[in-house]
Structure 1
Amino acid sequence: MLFAVFLPVLLAIFIPFFSKWKEKIHTGYFVLLAPLAVFIYFIPNLGNNFTPISQSYSWIPSLNIGLDFYLDGLSLLFVLLISGIGSLVTLYSIFYLHTSERLDQFYVYLLLFMTAMFGVVLSDNVFVLYGFWELTSISSFLLIGYWNYKERSRYGALKSMLITVFGGLSMFGGFILLSIITETTSIQAMIAQADVILSSDYFGLILALILLGAFTKSAQFPFHIWLPDAMEAPTPVSAYLHSATMVKAGIFLVARFTPIFSGNEWFFVFVSGIGILTLVWGSYMAVRQTDLKGILAFSTISQLGMIMAMLGFGTKAAIFAAVFHILNHATFKGSLFMIAGIVDHETGTRDIRRLGGLVTLMPISATLAFFGTFSMASVPFPFLNGFYSKEMFFTTSLELHDHSMWISQVLSQAIPYLAVFGSIFTFVYSMYLVFGTFMGEKKLDQLPVKPHEAPIGMLISPIILIVGVVVIGLFPNLVNGSFIAHTAEAIYGSPVEKDIYYWHGFETPFIMSLIVVGVGIFLAFFRKNWSSIYSFFPGKLSFNKVYDFLLDQSEKTSAKITNSYMNGSIRRYMALILIAILVCTFTVLAITDGFAWDTSNLAKITVHEVLIAIVMAVAAVSTIFIRNKVGAILILGVVGYGLALLFVVYRAPDLALTQLVVETITVALFLLCFYHLPNLRERTESGSQKAVNLVISIAFGALMTVVAISAHSTKLFDKISDYFLKTSYKLGGGDNVVNVILVDMRGIDTLFEIVVLGIAALAIYGLIKLRNKKEAE
């Protein structure tokens, strides 16, 4: 699994080379190999006899962090969605993106995102999961802002990253608390200690922090505002990130931790409550949109809310329905995003007010759109997969009665009504989307481009997805026992067996579906007559305005704070830095009782050492009063050479020689540089400034003294020097312990120090060459 996870990012290394041939062969053909290979690698795991697989690779054992991967039904579902939809999106992008685009950057970002998503759904270590989680935010930021010359693209990319990273950091706090309580970083080990977590005093905080991460990533109310603005990304990105992968990462997180949290009733309140609210709000707001991708964005928000609500129900049937709808949603929503991109590509606009009557000009796209939207609307046709999972949603919403808290009981009674209300608007926006685009009067004079059917290459991916819609609709149990049941079992914690039927009799769920269709047809037909309601609710109210206000105020406030101390005074900067160090360090020492005084095991102080120390102290203090820059450098050199003498007295010839060389070079460089600087000027300071300088100087000196004494006096661990003394000759083959440490035991550190010096030398060389070039010109 390790190779499968990192295959996309490994291929990304070679994208800049492949892109050089993009005029002859589209870069996307090379990229297609990665998701297709991963899909083929994992597809054999489908079957009735599937058992979870775990693999572990050591990484940071001292922190109990390793590349631990766990493949069960839940992760298998998401891996196949990420790789399968990823393959179709890559194929679609080959015909959607012209070779004049920056294909190398686009596909590097896309492959980076694939690796991040694979890592999220396969990681069993919470901290590794968090690392991949934040990588999805960074890579999606780059993908959403791909057309960075557009202001809206930059705005949408920043918005998505700020909101999702905020949630990710909250989730990270929850993971830290979980690891402390359970003394493990393994998710499966945490699930085994669910009773310990549920009984912890920190359970409420853990639940809130982790759900905050899930809600922000999956665009749950009120954090949904980033998703519509993310539609500024190229359509392949929207079809991939916002239908099947990134927005479902939060769904995955809730599903993965359901075995732990579902034992507490507040899990139902928060997850189902926010989920059903998101369903209603997203579907209601979708009808208001005029951009095709805007409609689909709010549609995605609504559908994610429905899945989240079912996970919160916590019953076997609800979890099975949630898993089934995750699969169904990926098929019809991925295809609809691609159709929206095709319409935009072939007409030059996504504004539904300028579209209409395209069914005769784009018959294949129209047919695919009809299947996709009718499945999304859950029209009760036996060949549309969306109806099955929506019917299960209605059924499970009617079975929520076993709750003790009053808020849970009220929510249980309200959910069926809210489910019908939200589904009615789902039907309305679905009909609005398909009929407003493909039926009605042609408005060719309002289109920037004369519309025509898309090339077959662009149609292949949505055709495959719509075929999936129909096949699952006709043969739903084809993916049941070998796929869906395993996923539901991984979430619920025990086997979940359920047959999928089209007809369950004329019962309440079917009546609810008939109400949705009946009322939905009426509202869709008279949409223009009642759509003015949006001017009253929400009217001018918008969470986007709240976000913009908070962002604007934070920028203004931070600018005021920064300008208050960033006045160009090096003295002020140094004072603030030193004061911060003093306060933090002394506070920690006081809180932890960190000061220690141990004079045992110390050598006797000789006259030589005292004399050298006095000379160094006098030289250091003298630099304050010297007004000649050369004299100040020379006197400061006395301190360095005095330190070298102390090394000689303490019988450390290596350190003494090093100090002598460094001090000599430093003094020479200072003298060379200061020769070209203006003379030192007398700086007037007030009495208060001098007093502050004196206090800070004495306090910082005292701090260093306290830290040095405490460090020597505290023996919390065995000295590492003993290890070096015992093993230097055996491991490094040298008697000089210092040299062995630098060259062998810390050879990588030394290597990178040399690399840094080399880079600095190259930079200086480049500056000198640039200066000579300018002087020559």
Structure 2
Amino acid sequence: MYLIHAAILLPILAGVGIAFMKRLSRSFHLGWAVLTIPLVLLIYFLSLIPQISNRNLISESLDWMPSLGINFTILLDGLSLLLALLITGIGSLVVLYSIYYMKQDEALHRFYLYLLLFMGAMLGVVLSDNMMVLYGFWELTSIASFLLIAFHHKKEASIRGASKSFLITVFGGFAMLTGFILLYLISGSYSIRETIESVSNIAEHHLFVPALILILIGAFTKSAQFPFHVWLPDAMEAPTPVSAYLHSATMVKAGIYIVARFTPVFGGEATWFWIISLVGTISMVYGALIAIKKTDLKAILAYSTVSQLGLIMSLFGLGSAALYFGYGAESMLYTTATMAGLLHLFNHALFKGSLFMMAGIVDHETGTRDIRKLGGLITVMPFTFTVALIGTFSMAGLPPFNGFVSKEMFFKATLEAADFSIFSLGTWGIIFPVLAWIGSVMTFIYSLVIVFRTFLGKNKTDIPLQKLHEAPIGMLIPPLILVSMVLITGIYPDILSSSIIEPAMASVLSPLLAEGERFDVHLYLWHGVTPELWMTAGVIVLGVISYKLLPRWKTVYEDYIPVYTVNKFYNAVFRALHRFSKRWTQTYMNGSVRNYLIYIFVFMIVLISYGFYHATNIEWNFSGYNSFKLYETILLVGLVVTAICIPFAKHRLSAVILTGAVGYLVSLFFVLFRAPDLALTQMVVETVSVALFLLCFYHLPELTPKSSKKYKSVNLIISVGVGIIVMLIALAASGTIQLDTISEFYTAESYNLAGGKNIVNVLLVDFRGFDTLLEIMVLGVAALAIYSMINLNLNGKDLGSSHHTLAREKQESTEKERSNSNPESWNSVSLRSNDVFLQMSTKIIVFIILIFALYLFFAGHHQPGGGFISGLVTASALVLLAIAFNTDTLRRILPVDYRTVIACGLLISLATAAGSFVFDLPFMSQAFGYFDIPLLGEVELTTATLFETGVFMAVLGVTMTIILQIGEDR
């Protein structure tokens, strides 16, 4: 059925569709169309609660790269269901909130594309069983987060915050990827389930602890744990709906999810729960400490998020001790911590999401988030005040809200930690309940600051109270729904026990359970008079006193505590690295292409020479080579002489012609050696390259060859060295045969397995189609880079757009002037004597070339040709058209944005490659069959044709983008 795969891809594909609705967004808010996506997904995941709570886990798998152990395998259990419900549930409310928060004239198509992209990526993270697939979605969340934070890209603070979050989270992602690879080397599998099953065999491996640490680095960076928390406050430059979604309910929970998911693997290791417990506890206290001094509502909530995430992280660390000491499910010692962590993960998403929305409402209505300029809003914004009151009191752990339930369990877990066998109250065990209590006191203080400084007291805003009003009902509904759930799950917390929390606990602590065994989970608002209740009472008393005395002790707090902060350290290190890298780069990046080539070629010569020197299995076998024929000798001599003439050319035009001659002579060798595909490709590439060289050199001054002996000597040495190295590689490759050649397999199976008689084409679109897909992606990136370098100046002004506008205006005026005197619509420039013949012949030759390109496209599967060469031939026809007339004429005849052609080609190729999943085949598998078609008879149809179409469009778009951008005279 693959419904869960579809659930992951649905928001991504919907986001791509939304991106093309820019014009439609002017007539209605795109959010209404987007809202259906998370709502449908939420309903779907809600329908799976009974099945998951009964331990009927859902697993689906699509073969992707089975030979490498990488498959798109989905696992839906209690833990992933909990996160999926938060992603889709909070996502639905955030989209509804954004409809009223985001302005109609903003780039809504981009905003919702990024938001849906992030939603799909997060679902992929929490539902993927394969570590490599999980990592792919993990980095996609970083990319989508970067785009959302930088949505207001004209603000320097937005760019800075997006860059910081991207650098830190991607760094953590690379560390986590390394940890996954180490786990694979240990266990032999990328599957998380299989790794858990084999944990008893891998726990003693010497790579086990390094893998543990690397995976934790990834989790800590994403969940903003100390000292990687510095990106989260700067990320508050994102629009408030983004903060409410990414930085309270979803993205920051990804790191916690990783810790919970891998607890069955690493939970038995003491290093695991020591690192997580201490880092989480420090993050909780540090985040609360900094939150008190902040005056911006979103900044307070940002640091409170760091604190609350640290609380949850510490609970999972403490809970893993149950695995370390092997307690069963009947013992709730330490399993309390895991239960509290899961419950608070759920609770935090509710109350923190509502508080971010509250901050957005205050900013939206008053124009400021600075609590020093706020006050007295309770009289004009009673509903927003209600949201703030319930949200902050739940965050502070007061009854009857859900935060009280999980906070009581947190205290209980820390007290159990202090009494555990490896701890004692007289040693290090005391730090957990003490720091938990201190962090809770500070949480209580900044919760009071949020409510009282914003809504009570006198109005300090620039807007009189009589002009202030409550937010629109559509903006109030989402936070009111969230705080209603905060109240309901606080009064009746047991409704979450068997449906959500217990299945999630079973996923985290699965090694403790025997088959069919369950945790006894019951949640209550009132547990009687317990030590943790007295701790809560102490928090309230000391918190109220500290809040009342805040003006007296905050001065000392501000003067001494934040002198040395992690953020300042990060900024200092970043600036130092930037200065160092700039100075170092300037020493060798001096703008000389020759120098860059010298670096590349010298490195290549040294590296490969080192490999030859240490290689012991290379055989230099010169037997079996055929003797040279006369025509081969003549061709070779001509090739060598032509190549030698290039350095002595005194004009660029001569150098270009000689370079092209070398390419054409090489293509003749391909013809002689019966490689028609290579010969055809080489000829067309040379034709287009010569035109490209001529266009480039048109903008350069006259060639002035260097006369320095040193200059020429360096060129000679490097050229000879590269030639010798390449020759040795060819001889070593042909002489050293240690494995059976795979060419026999391709020769025997190309037609049977891929339905093609042209082995070269079958390799490109089937057996090695993944290589081709990546190659056209690289070409697309290169074309866009060239376009950017030519059309965008340092100030970011799009010179290309203005040029095209001026070109169109010039074209229109020229047409008007010539309309009466010359009816020939192709000509828009004055003609010279040789232009007439060229233009008249071009009108005929272009159609011949295009027909030939069409033939190559359809014949390529069985004869020389294919999408790649067909795209090049088509581009050569258009280049000829541009040379004979001009680029403006070409744009008028074919008003196509070739960058869009590149994008469409890549999408078609990627969709064809992924379409094999529909037939339950690995990624990039091609299918073919024979069908009787009227008038045509039996015809072979293959999905490779669709892939070839994408390759054709990508190659055509890349070639024409480069040619036109370089060829147009600015």
User: Deviation digits for residues 334-356 of structure 1, max 9, x if unmatched?
Assistant: 11111111111122211111111
Within 2, Cα distance between the matches of 1:249 and 1:714? 49
- Which of 486, 490, 498 aligns to 2:507? It is 490
Within 1, Cα distance between the matches of 2:293 and 2:689? 70
Please state how far the C-alpha of 1:130 moved relative to its aligned partner: 0.8
Within 2, Cα distance between the matches of 1:294 and 1:391? 27
User: Deviation digits for residues 320-369 of structure 1, max 9, x if unmatched?
Assistant: 11000011111111111111111111222111111112212211211221
- Which of 523, 538, 543 aligns to 2:566? It is 543
1:7 aligns with 2:10: yes
Within 2, Cα distance between the matches of 1:574 and 1:330? 54
User: Deviation digits for residues 184-243 of structure 1, max 9, x if unmatched?
Assistant: 111111111223332111122211111111111101011111111111111111111111
Within 2, Cα distance between the matches of 1:651 and 1:445? 82
Q: Which moved more, 1:537-546 or 1:88-97?
A: 537-546
Q: Which amino acid aligns with 2:314?
A: A
Within 2, Cα distance between the matches of 1:629 and 1:102? 47
Please state how far the C-alpha of 1:548 moved relative to its aligned partner: 1.6
- Which of 413, 419, 424 aligns to 2:436? It is 419
Please state how far the C-alpha of 1:619 moved relative to its aligned partner: 4.5
Please state how far the C-alpha of 1:618 moved relative to its aligned partner: 4.7
Q: 1:39-54, aligned counterparts within 5 Å?
A: 39-47=42-50, 48-54=53-59
Contact 2:419–2:429, Cα closer than 8 Å, also in 1:
no
**What is the SS of the residue equivalent to 1:68?**
strand
Contact 2:291–2:446, Cα closer than 8 Å, also in 1:
yes
- Which of 716, 719, 731 aligns to 1:694? It is 716
Contact 1:125–1:185, Cα closer than 8 Å, also in 2:
yes
Within 1, Cα distance between the matches of 2:107 and 2:623? 68
Contact 2:77–2:503, Cα closer than 8 Å, also in 1:
yes
Counterpart for residue 723 of structure 1: 745
Q: Which moved more, 1:584-593 or 1:139-148?
A: 584-593
- Which of 549, 565, 568 aligns to 1:526? It is 549
Q: Which amino acid aligns with 2:374?
A: L
- Which of 45, 69, 72 aligns to 2:74? It is 69
Counterpart for residue 289 of structure 1: 294
Q: Which moved more, 1:496-505 or 1:570-579?
A: 496-505
- Which of 522, 526, 529 aligns to 1:499? It is 522
Please state how far the C-alpha of 1:602 moved relative to its aligned partner: 3.6
Contact 1:4–1:38, Cα closer than 8 Å, also in 2:
yes
Please state how far the C-alpha of 1:426 moved relative to its aligned partner: 0.5
- Which of 451, 455, 463 aligns to 1:434? It is 451
Within 2, Cα distance between the matches of 1:251 and 1:118? 15
**What is the SS of the residue equivalent to 1:443?**
coil
Contact 2:122–2:138, Cα closer than 8 Å, also in 1:
yes
Within 2, Cα distance between the matches of 1:447 and 1:203? 63
Contact 1:170–1:212, Cα closer than 8 Å, also in 2:
yes
Q: Which amino acid aligns with 1:346?
A: E
Within 2, Cα distance between the matches of 1:395 and 1:107? 42
Please state how far the C-alpha of 1:505 moved relative to its aligned partner: 3.2
- Which of 155, 159, 174 aligns to 1:154? It is 159
Q: Which amino acid aligns with 1:36?
A: L
1:338 aligns with 2:357: yes
Counterpart for residue 758 of structure 1: 956
Counterpart for residue 861 of structure 2: 744
Counterpart for residue 38 of structure 1: 41
Contact 1:144–1:156, Cα closer than 8 Å, also in 2:
yes
**What is the SS of the residue equivalent to 2:590?**
coil
**What is the SS of the residue equivalent to 1:287?**
helix
Within 2, Cα distance between the matches of 1:588 and 1:403? 57
Q: Which amino acid aligns with 2:957?
A: I
- Which of 314, 317, 329 aligns to 1:312? It is 317
Contact 2:202–2:208, Cα closer than 8 Å, also in 1:
yes
Counterpart for residue 396 of structure 1: 413
**What is the SS of the residue equivalent to 1:13?**
helix
Please state how far the C-alpha of 1:624 moved relative to its aligned partner: 3.7
Q: 1:584-623, aligned counterparts within 5 Å?
A: 584-590=607-613, 593=616, 595-604=618-627, 613=636, 616-623=639-646
Q: Which moved more, 1:171-180 or 1:750-759?
A: 750-759
- Which of 468, 489, 492 aligns to 1:472? It is 489
1:355 aligns with 2:398: no
- Which of 193, 200, 208 aligns to 1:203? It is 208
1:79 aligns with 2:84: yes
Please state how far the C-alpha of 1:145 moved relative to its aligned partner: 1.4
Counterpart for residue 375 of structure 1: 394
Q: Which amino acid aligns with 1:759?
A: G
Please state how far the C-alpha of 1:585 moved relative to its aligned partner: 3.1
1:193 aligns with 2:216: no
**What is the SS of the residue equivalent to 1:359?**
helix
* Structure 1 residues 159 and 251: CA distance shift in structure 2, 3 A: same
Q: Which moved more, 1:133-142 or 1:6-15?
A: 6-15
Contact 2:756–2:861, Cα closer than 8 Å, also in 1:
no
Within 2, Cα distance between the matches of 1:554 and 1:711? 43
Contact 1:372–1:466, Cα closer than 8 Å, also in 2:
yes
Q: 1:560-579, aligned counterparts within 5 Å?
A: 560-579=583-602
Counterpart for residue 887 of structure 2: none
User: Deviation digits for residues 163-200 of structure 1, max 9, x if unmatched?
Assistant: 11111111111111111221111111111122333211
Within 2, Cα distance between the matches of 1:684 and 1:454? 76
Contact 1:346–1:449, Cα closer than 8 Å, also in 2:
no
Q: Which amino acid aligns with 1:498?
A: V
Q: Which amino acid aligns with 2:523?
A: I
- Which of 187, 212, 220 aligns to 1:215? It is 220
1:144 aligns with 2:149: yes
1:703 aligns with 2:722: no
Aligned length: 769
Counterpart for residue 897 of structure 2: none
* Structure 1 residues 582 and 594: CA distance shift in structure 2, 3 A: farther
Please state how far the C-alpha of 1:712 moved relative to its aligned partner: 1.6
Q: Which amino acid aligns with 1:421?
A: I
Q: 1:662-701, aligned counterparts within 5 Å?
A: 680-687=703-710, 689-701=711-723
Counterpart for residue 23 of structure 2: 20
1:323 aligns with 2:342: yes
Within 2, Cα distance between the matches of 1:189 and 1:764? 48
* Structure 1 residues 761 and 371: CA distance shift in structure 2, 3 A: closer
User: Deviation digits for residues 37-66 of structure 1, max 9, x if unmatched?
Assistant: 100011012134142111011222232222
* Structure 1 residues 272 and 411: CA distance shift in structure 2, 3 A: farther
Counterpart for residue 122 of structure 1: 127
**What is the SS of the residue equivalent to 1:59?**
strand
**What is the SS of the residue equivalent to 1:441?**
coil
Q: Which amino acid aligns with 1:263?
A: G
* Structure 1 residues 192 and 373: CA distance shift in structure 2, 3 A: same
Please state how far the C-alpha of 1:734 moved relative to its aligned partner: 7.1
Contact 2:418–2:432, Cα closer than 8 Å, also in 1:
no
Gapped regions of structure 1 (runs ≥ 5): none
Q: 1:442-481, aligned counterparts within 5 Å?
A: 442-445=459-462, 450-481=467-498
Within 2, Cα distance between the matches of 1:341 and 1:608? 79
Identity %: 46
Superposed CA RMSD in Å reads: 3.1
